[in-house]
Chain A
Amino acid sequence: MRHRSLLLLTTVLTTGALTLTACGSRSDDGKKSGDDGSSGTGSNITLTIGVDAPLTGQNSATGLGLQYGTQIAVDDANSKKLVPGVTFKVKALDDKALPATGQQNATALVQDSNVIATVGPLNSGVAESMQQVFATANMVEISPANTNPDLTQGKDWASGKKVRPFKTYFRTATTDANQGGFAADYAYNTLKKKNVFVVDDKQAYGAGLAAIFKGKFASLGGKIAGTDHVNTGDTDYSALVTKIKQSHADMLYYGGQYDESELITKQLKAGGVNIPLMGGDGMYSDTYIKTAGKAATGDLATSVGVPVSTLPAAQNFIKAYKAKGYPGDYGTYGGYSYDAATAIINAVKTVMDANGGKLPAMNDARAKLVDAVQKTDFDGIAGHVSFDQYGDTTNKQLTVYQVKNGAWTAVKSGVYSG
């Protein structure tokens, strides 16, 4: 019931938000048409893969990685003719990291009869608002970045009652249940931190990650020096810094995105509190270091997977990304976006092969694609790609990065095992 009224609301809001979306997608239009020209040779059908991510404003550095990671996968598929008779193209929509905008975009994508499936979004909070729209339309959505466990395992996952809410939702990134635990383990056992102050941004991703970290860190025997929440978009953290200083914490853990944490770490160090700030994949971005400058030195972030640059299979991808001069960070989710798009492309082939080499009618094709994606099994550029019964990736690799000499440096990779 709640979802239906949400949908209604969306339809009403879409009209009003048309102007905004038009502004947001400004930068993709030029790029897209250029890419089309080089690939539009086939005489057969064209299928669109949707992308939803923040392409402007907050989080856009990592968000653009989703768009162009998908774009390279599509270019590769077209030039290698992975699916004979099908030319793929990308339709990228900007959600500005806003759940409401994401939901409008989801509605727009399912209404576009050329869109077969979607890669995205970046933010877990945005994903929450989109899942129902895609499920109603039977359209596959693969996020290369969402890490909140609720999305695949339901609200009560922590108590062991795991229920998959939407069979159309998949992800190539592992969850915060693993990431938060991995971070707590590293902070307590490797860094020997005993007294951590925990802050989050009250969003689905940040609050979830911070809670998991806190629970794990406490169960390891560590002390929580204090907790606080901030608002996304805040700029002044001086009062918070004073609180942290008073708590004598030896580390600050932040659940949220780089937009806030880069300001927090700057003001923390400027306030004379020289403790590292640790966060999740949401702040694993070059923009964080660029903006925070020297203050970022020694800060830590966990991220899903292993560093893309160390993966032999990803070298061509990195080369292509750099050669095309695409903006944004491919480092965090670019590889996973490539693999997510490739999983969709492979599934299209599976569906067509089972139908005598032809694509079924779009509604049917979308529905059949859900089953085909569920059975995905191939080696992607960021590791093996397959999904468990919840739609989660079976690749549970994680890495801790630390800022050294102005760059994220991998300090530990591994699989978190509880």
Chain B
Amino acid sequence: MHTLPQQLANGLFLGSMYGLIAIGYTMVYGIVQLINFAHGEIFMTGAFGALTVWNCLPDGMNIWAALPLMLIGGAIVSVLIAVGAERFAYRPLRGAPRLAPLITAIGLSLALQQAIFVWYPGADNAKDFPQLGTHPYHLGSIAIQRNDIFLVAAAVVCMVGLAAFVRTSRTGRAMQATAQDPDTAQLMGIDTNRIIVIAFAIGGLFAAVAGVAFGLKYGQITYNMGFQAGLKAFTAAVLGGIGNIYGAMLGGLVLGIAEACATAYIANIPGMHQLGGQGWANVWAFVLLIVVLLVRPQGLLGERVADRA
């Protein structure tokens, strides 16, 4: 078990990424009760947006200098797609039966994947993504990548920023009001359409940050990377209590750590050899989800919806 600290760190890094993506699912759900299944692709297009910026920058440019520009580029792409999807795909269906926007989201997800696949040069294979170096720092027995430090730092900054925004800003208060009672929020003078757009935009922004972090961490991005990541992030959002922003982050971390520990330790349990390892990690992640939902159908932080928005 002396690898436990390292495995926890592995899970923490992976979980931070799930959490960043999960915010987008949970914010949109919290405000319009819509599962935006195209969110995984918004994450993917953010990564491609950042890569495009990198490719347009002069060769040999320092990656640290390029990073802010890449983040901005990715954020612009993701936010535009997220807001565009809301405006042109979901808003016309508001008030329609629940299934209609859901199917639309799935269709949009496929369309975005195929669009990148067909039109982004060379995207039918993995595209190389720059990294912040690949030599790890050592913290006791734990090896930590610079790319992972960026990921965790970005997740912390984003979460703290979002929490402060929701708690203290006027728009944040309007988001909480809209989440709790959209009709009455309008009676307060809140333009709920604007709040919904902002929720999509924040989700897109976080997805872009996650997309850049993904590229840095793995050194490559693919047109279909949003599928699995999106599914995991959605799981994280449900695990943490969908609609709750802290739940999304917590759910991501729990899921990431569960996967790492399932990969590492399940096979060591006597009689479980066949059911352990990375190949079964996803299965255990979903077992965890089912167990949590059996005990707490509202998710881990489901009762703290007071802060949701």
Contacts and interface: CB of A to CB of B under 8 A. Distances in A.
B279 A271 contact: no
Contacts of B14: 236, 238
A415 B214 CA distance: 43
A266 interface: yes
B171 interface: no
A271 B267 CA distance: 22
A5 B250 CA distance: 46
Nearest to B260: A239
Contacts of B143: 271-272
Given A57-B124, A243-B263, A266-B219, A229 B279 contact: yes
A270 to B, nearest CB: 4
A291 B128 contact: yes
Contacts of B225: 235
Interface string B262-289: 0110010000000001111110000000
Interface stretch (B5-13, B56-64, B88-96): B5-13
A56 interface: yes
B136 A240 contact: no
Interface string A179-218: 0000000000000000000000010000000000000000
A30 to B, nearest CB: 14
Which of A23, A56, A238, A259 has the most chain B CB atoms inside 10 A of its CB?
A238
A287 B260 CA distance: 28
B279 A238 contact: no
Range for the number of chain A residues in contact with chain B:
35 or more
B298 interface: no
Contacts of B260: 238-239, 242
Nearest to A236: B14
Contacts of A353: none
Contact of A60 (B124, B135, B280, B281): B124
A293 interface: yes
B259 A239 contact: yes
A111 B110 CA distance: 29
Interface in A252-287: 259, 262-263, 266-267, 269-272, 287
A202 B124 CA distance: 24
Given A239-B264, A243-B264, A233 B228 contact: yes
Interface string A54-96: 0011001100000000000000000000000000000000000
A295 interface: yes
Contacts of A388: none
A273 to B, nearest CB: 9
A231 B284 CA distance: 14
B224 A57 contact: yes
A239 B136 contact: no
Nearest to B6: A242
A263 B134 contact: no
B220 interface: yes
A237 interface: yes
B237 to A, nearest CB: 19
Interface residues of B, number: 41
A230 interface: yes
Given A235-B228, A239-B263, A269 B134 contact: yes
Interface in A288-324: 290-291, 293, 295
A412 interface: no
Task: Label chain B's interface by main secondary structure.
Answer: helix
A228 B279 contact: yes
A92 B2 CA distance: 52
Contacts of A60: 124-125
A272 B124 contact: no
A26 interface: yes
Interface string B110-150: 00001001100000111010000011100000010100000
Contact of A295 (B11, B117, B134): B134
B220 A263 contact: yes
Contact of A239 (B11, B117, B145, B224): B11
A246 interface: yes
Nearest to A238: B10
A293 B278 contact: no
Interface string B246-268: 00000000000001110110010
Interface string B138-170: 000001010000000000000000000000000
A229 B277 contact: yes
Nearest to B220: A291
A125 B267 CA distance: 26
B122 to A, nearest CB: 10
Nearest to B127: A291
B277 A228 contact: yes
A36 interface: no
Nearest to B214: A235
A32 to B, nearest CB: 18
Contact of A230 (B124, B259, B279): B279
A256 to B, nearest CB: 11
Contacts of B6: 242
A234 interface: yes
Contact of B263 (A235, A240, A262): A240
27 contacts: A23-B114, A56-B117, A57-B117, A60-B124, A61-B125, A227-B277, A228-B267, A229-B278, A229-B279, A230-B279, A233-B228, A234-B228, A235-B225, A236-B14, A239-B10, A239-B261, A239-B263, A242-B10, A243-B264, A246-B3, A259-B126, A262-B126, A263-B218, A266-B219, A270-B145, A271-B136, A293-B128
Interface of B: 2-3, 6-7, 10-11, 13-14, 114, 117-118, 124-126, 128, 134-136, 143, 145, 214, 217-220, 224-225, 228-229, 259-261, 263-264, 267, 277-282
CB-based closest 9 A-B pairs = A229-B279, A239-B263, A238-B10, A239-B260, A228-B277, A270-B134, A230-B278, A56-B124, A242-B6
Interface of A: 23, 26, 56-57, 60-61, 202, 227-231, 233-240, 242-243, 245-246, 259, 262-263, 266-267, 269-272, 287, 290-291, 293, 295
Given A23-B118, A57-B117, A235-B225, 12 more contacts: A61-B125, A228-B263, A228-B278, A228-B279, A230-B278, A239-B259, A240-B263, A242-B260, A270-B135, A271-B136, A293-B128, A293-B219
